[in-house]
Amino acid sequence: MSNQEPGFATLAVHAGSQPDPATGARITPIYQTASFVFDDVDHAASLFGLQAFGNIYTRITNPTTAVLEERVAALEGGTAALATASGHSAQLLVMHAMMMPGDEFISSKKLYGGSINQFGHSFKSFGWQVNWAEGIDPADFDAAVTDKTKAIFIESLANPGGVVMDINGIAEVARKHKIPLIVDNTLASPYLCRPIEHGADIVVHSLTKFLGGHGNSMGGIIVDGGTFNWSQDDRYPILSEPRPEYNGLVLHETFGNFAFAIACRVLGLRDLGPAISPTNAFNIITGIETLPLRMQRHCDNALEVAKYLESHDKVAWVSYAALESDPYHDLQQRYMPNGGGAVLTFGVKGGYDAGVSVVSNVEIFSHLANIGDTRSLIIHPASTTHKQLDDEQKTAAGAGPDVLRLSVGIEDASDLIADLEQALEG
């Protein structure tokens, strides 16, 4: 057997999966069952006591979902992963495993509008407070740290603004203050960026987007980097202190460099319940098999579209980091050398009304609230995904009134350009 480490494309097809031992099926089956039979009473007791790994109930573990988790962990270079019902639920479970009422975390303002809303409003019900970094420089995050800060959260490639974050620089701030760095890697995918290699401790994704890739399944995932010492002080008692529901077991002491993923599973997923369905897990596994092919085509098409828009007389500006003129181009070359991703934004002259006109006139681009599909998508964030924000928040998030967001698909680039041409002229 070869000792060569598998390449990314090989992992995308094979990681975590084997032919089904019962039937010989080569494709991972959909284990569409709610629960699983125990060998005997002792076996059941060992599973419930975390003394053995195995399946109890699909809300907590499932063989189809396990393949998805192993595959994404391998692609991201993590120690373990936990799949969930959506990207939002992944973020919820991450915070649930490290935050107590009264705790704080720091986040970039360059975020998906739904995350801004979740952090700024819904998380308050748990007693968790977000402090927003005023800019994107690592020093801005350093300045926001307080004695209650438990984590830093960023997107590797911000949605919708296309900002490439200095992951390593922000990771240094997190290490200085002995707190974990959480990176949402949805827009980049591990094909373009592997945040753990740049200092991230935890990675989250909306699997609904590029990893699934076909707009047919909801899912989220948490990847444990295995890099953070949860027992270095008393700030993370969920992981470092005895758990009464597991007879005093200490999660970090017992599970080491994948303890965070275990905590998210046996405390958060078990009790809050946002489990991914086996069918959605199956669909996303299938999507991941073509991730390297799709992402490169997405990037190539997006660059052509961005260059076209940059030269159009009805376009005021284009934000796409793979453009040499873009202020984040150097960071893109550093963190995502294979391409700038599929998502770009541009400002149409004429502001809000002109933006609405373009989305009303496209024919190939679909007007909907998603990204990461094989099909090209368009949206006017100010009237949709970021509508709940005030004007200042919209602008800070890269979703001002003139902004249009494209998720460029894998169609022929010339057809996409022609569609935008007629829509801009209309």
Print pLDDT tens along the chain (426 aa).
578 899 999 999 999 999 998 899 999 999 999 999 999 999 999 999 999 999 999 999 999 999 999 999 999 999 999 999 999 999 999 999 999 999 999 999 999 888 999 999 999 999 999 999 999 999 999 999 999 999 999 999 998 778 999 999 999 999 999 999 999 999 999 999 999 999 999 999 999 999 999 999 999 999 999 999 999 999 999 999 999 999 999 999 999 999 999 999 999 999 999 999 999 999 999 999 999 999 999 999 999 999 999 999 999 999 999 999 999 999 999 999 999 999 999 999 998 889 999 999 999 999 998 999 999 999 998 888 777 778 788 777 777 889 999 999 999 999 999 999 999 997
Residue 388: strand, helix, or coil: coil
131 forms bridges with which residues in the sheet? 106
Domain 292-425: state its class: alpha beta
Show the tokens assigned to 147.
């004695």
Instruction: Tally Cβ neighbours within 10 Å of residue 234.
Output: 8
CB proximity list for 15: less than 8 A, separation 6 or greater: 6, 70, 71, 74, 75
pLDDT of residue 47: 94
Buried b / exposed e along 315-340 (16+ C-beta atoms within 10 A): beebbbbbbeebebbebbeebbebbb
pLDDT attached to residue 400: 86
Please list, in sequence order, all residues whose beta carbon lies within 8 angstroms of the beta carbon of residue 5, skipping any fewer than 6 positions away.
none
Residue 22, number of CB atoms within 10 A of its CB: 7
Q: Distance (Å, rounded) from C-alpha 210 to C-alpha 72?
A: 12
| Single-letter code of the amino acid located at 80 | A
Q: What is the pLDDT of residue 159?
A: 85
Distance CA 157, CA 219 (A): 19
Residue 3 is predicted with a pLDDT of 81
Rounded to whole angstroms, how far apart are CA atoms 304 and 321?
13
Question: CA gyration radius for the chain?
Answer: 22
CB 342 within 8 A of CB 408: yes
pLDDT in the model for residue 387:
78
| pLDDT at residue 7, as a whole number | 97
Q: CATH fold of 8-287, please? A: Aspartate Aminotransferase; domain 2 (3.40.640)
Closest C-alpha among 127, 87, 122 to residue 217: 87
Q: Is 270 exposed, middle or buried (0-12, 13-18, 19+ CB in 10 A)?
A: middle
CB 394 within 8 A of CB 386: yes
**Under 8 Å between Cβ of 200 and 152:** no
The residues near 404 (Cβ < 8 Å, ≥ 6 apart) are 345, 346, 347, 348, 355, 358, 359, 378, 379, 380
Q: Locate 26 and state its tokens.
A: 């080569």
**pTM across the whole model:** 0.95
Q: CATH 3.40.640.10 in the chain, residues?
A: 8-287
Angle at 165 between CA 390 and CA 130, to 5 degrees: 45
Distance from C-alpha of 212 to C-alpha of 361, rounded to nearest angstrom: 28
Residue 231: the pLDDT is 98
**Where in the sequence of the chain do the CATH 3.90.1150.10 domains occur?**
292-425
Neighbours of 243 (CB within 10 A): 18
Distance of alpha carbon 307 from alpha carbon 3, whole angstroms? 43
Phi and psi at 182, nearest 5°, equal: -105, 130
The 366-367 sheet, strands edge to edge: 315-319, 343-348, 403-407, 377-379, 366-367
CB 155, CB 112: distance < 8 Å: yes
Q: Name the nearest CA neighbour of 114 among 83, 167, 159.
A: 159
C-beta neighbour count of 178 within 10 angstroms? 11
Q: What integer pLDDT is reported at residue 388 of this predicted model? A: 76
